[in-house]
């Protein structure tokens, strides 16, 4: 995982942009990975590990209705997390990760290995559904972190 965010931090620095994260299943790995890069403090001021639904609601503003209707592992929740963390930390880009890294959890619709990554950039928010069947908890978290680094860099390049 070392330096997975290096290119992304370089892009953010060159454009004068900031990023923040709302993490659930990655448990702080996104924040750790970006802060592993020297100079990241210019683009990253903080993030939130929103592991419980109560914290998703109270810290980043996920609607309780969203969790009741579609659960915390959904594109809608990922979008609300990304929008909320971007707003709370006043960043240019907000990124979220919520899913089932296993070994427990999962549903028929979203089995273990399903993760939603939300991205909010200046009023435009989208979510990506990732699915990593037959991967370990650590493998899923690392794959999601790599994807988050990639998608953050892609979004930053567009700005």
β-sheet bridge partners, residue 96: 22, 118
- Please return the burial class of 129, using the count of CB atoms within 10 Å of its CB with bins 0-12, 13-18 and 19+: middle
H/E element, 94:
strand 93-99
Q: pTM value?
A: 0.96
21-67: per-residue pLDDT in tens?
A: 999 999 999 999 999 999 999 999 999 999 999 999 999 999 999 99
Number of domains in the chain: 1
Residue 1 lies in a domain: no
> Is residue 64 a part of any domain in this protein?
yes
- Residue 55 sits in a domain whose CATH number is 3.90.950.20
Write the pLDDT tens digit of every residue in 72-129: 999 999 999 999 999 999 999 999 999 999 999 999 999 999 999 999 998 899 999 9
Model confidence pLDDT, tens digit, residues 92-108: 999 999 999 999 999 99
Domain span including residue 136: 6-158
């Amino acid at each position: 995982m070392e330096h997975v965010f290096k290119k992304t931090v370089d892009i953010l620095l060159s454009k004068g942009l900031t990023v923040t994260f709302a993490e659930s299943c990655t448990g702080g790995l996104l924040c750790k990975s970006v802060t592993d890069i020297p100079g990241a403090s210019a683009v990253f001021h903080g993030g939130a590990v929103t592991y419980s639904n109560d914290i998703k609601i109270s810290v980043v503003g996920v609607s309780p209705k969203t969790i009741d209707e579609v659960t915390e592992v959904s594109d809608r929740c990922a979008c609300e997390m990304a929008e909320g963390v971007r707003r709370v930390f006043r960043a240019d880009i907000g990124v979220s990760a919520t899913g089932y890294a296993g070994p427990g959890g999962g549903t028929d619709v979203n089995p273990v290995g399903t993760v939603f990554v939300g991205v909010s950039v200046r009023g435009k928010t989208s979510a990506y559904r990732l699915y990593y069947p037959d991967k370990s908890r650590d493998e899923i978290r690392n794959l999601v972190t790599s994807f988050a680094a990639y998608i953050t860099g892609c979004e930053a390049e567009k700005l």
